[in-house]
Amino acid sequence: MISTMVWGTGNMGRAAIRAVPAHPALELASVLVHDPAKVARDAGDLGDLGRDLGVAATDDVGAEQ
């Protein structure tokens, strides 16, 4: 598995959040956001997946997840 980070949740970031868990060789490790209202929200919610992925968004660039 390749640990993958998505940086941002705009149009491309949301698409990436949906694409990473759909790919068998990738694992979504973290999601970095700028908007304080998105911090701690689940990546599945931010990616409009309709299900949780168990990855909470962070605004800490140096956070290890």
| Class (C level, CATH) for 1-65 | alpha beta
Cα separation, 42 vs 32, whole angstroms:
11
Give me the pLDDT at residue 31, please.
97
Q: pLDDT of 23-58, one tens digit each?
A: 999 999 999 999 999 999 999 999 999 999 999 999
Burial of 12 (0-12, 13-18, 19+ CB in 10 A): exposed
Q: How far apart are CA 42 and CA 25, in angstroms?
A: 21
Query: What is the pLDDT confidence band of residue 19, given thresholds at 50, 70 and 90?
Result: very high
Strands (DSSP E) found in the chain: 2-7, 26-32
pTM of the predicted protein model: 0.90
* Under 8 Å between Cβ of 55 and 63: no
